[in-house]
Amino acid sequence: LMPCVFPVLAIKVLGFAQHAQDHRAHRLSGLAYTTGVVLSFLGLGLLLLVLRAAGDNLGWGFQLQSPWLVAGLSLLFLLIALNLWDVLAWPGGWGTRWAAQKALHPIADACWSGVLAVVVAAPCTAPFMGASVGVALTLPPWQGIWVFVSLGVGLALPFSLGSWIPAATRWLPRPGAWMQTLRHSLAFPMLLTVVWLLWVLGQQTRSEVAFLWLACLTLIAGGLWAWGQSG
């Protein structure tokens, strides 16, 4: 339910809705998503342990300490929102080819969703995971790695349970016109994530920088809308 985790899960919910009866696809997607989450936690854990050994003092969510990365993520979530609103559509056959690639590689798509969930979620999870990460960084490396793996399994668990236990998804209605409404409504959590990232950017730099980047994002959105209007 955290503001920087929910958007990624919301995208995965659309996948459940589109393949409501395909249990095998659900399970493979759940395994791939879990793999992406766990491998990302493992990578971040190894990086933290290596930097600890080198003498650097870094905390959890350190990857969002870079204003450039925060700005880039805010642009990414804006583009996702515009796509959900059908404002941003690839011209020509790009959209068809992209959809075909996702259809051909749904496992890779689910895995990358897990990676995105970890990258964006780390700062939100700091109040809950801070103690665990602190303990992990004081343990021998092989024990600390298991802490990070366990955290990854925990983050992936809700979606994994839904993918493996059909009863958890039986409440989903059959695919239909309602999916377009759901698609449009999920753009709002994306925009709330952009607002949160802009607040982070303002804390890292100055409020003027955040307002300037907000203006740039508005111009980008307007330009993309005009591009769509021109066909």
pLDDT band of residue 20 (cuts 50, 70, 90) is low
* pLDDT of amino acid 95: 42
Q: Are 42 and 152 in contact (CB under 8 A)?
A: yes
Question: Mean pLDDT, to the nearest integer, of 131-149?
Answer: 78
pLDDT band of residue 132 (cuts 50, 70, 90) is confident
* pLDDT of amino acid 112: 83
pLDDT > 70? residue 187? yes
Of 130-139, 154-163, 166-175, 219-228, minimum mean pLDDT range:
166-175
**Torsions phi, psi for 221 (to 5 deg):** -60, -45
Question: Mean pLDDT, to the nearest integer, of 207-224?
Answer: 92
pLDDT (tens digit per residue) in 74-127: 898 898 888 878 887 655 444 444 444 555 667 787 888 788 778 777 666 655
pLDDT > 60? residue 229? yes
Question: Mean pLDDT, to the nearest integer, of 57-82?
Answer: 77
User: Which carries the bigger pLDDT value, residue 116 or residue 36?
Assistant: 36
User: Which carries the bigger pLDDT value, residue 3 or residue 193?
Assistant: 193
Among 120-129, 137-146, 164-173, 191-200, the range of highest mean pLDDT: 191-200
- Give the 3-state DSSP-derived string for the chain, with helices as H, strands as E and coil as C: CCCCCHHHHHHHHHHHHHCCCCHHHHHHHHHHHHHHHHHHHHHHHHHHHHHHHHCCCCCCCHHHHCHHHHHHHHHHHHHHHHHHCCCCCCCCCHHHHHHHHHHHCHHHHHHHHHHHHHHHHHHHHHHHHHHHHHHHHHCCHHHHHHHHHHHHHHHHHHHHHHHHCHHHHCCCCCCCCHHHHHHHHCHHHHHHHHHHHHHHHHHHCCHHHHHHHHHHHHHHHHHHHHHHHCC
Distance CA 200, CA 212 (A): 14
Measured in whole angstroms, how far is the alpha carbon of residue 82 from the centre of its chain? 16
pLDDT > 90? residue 215? yes
pLDDT > 90? residue 211? yes
Mean pLDDT over each residue of the chain, to the nearest integer: 76
* pLDDT of amino acid 217: 94
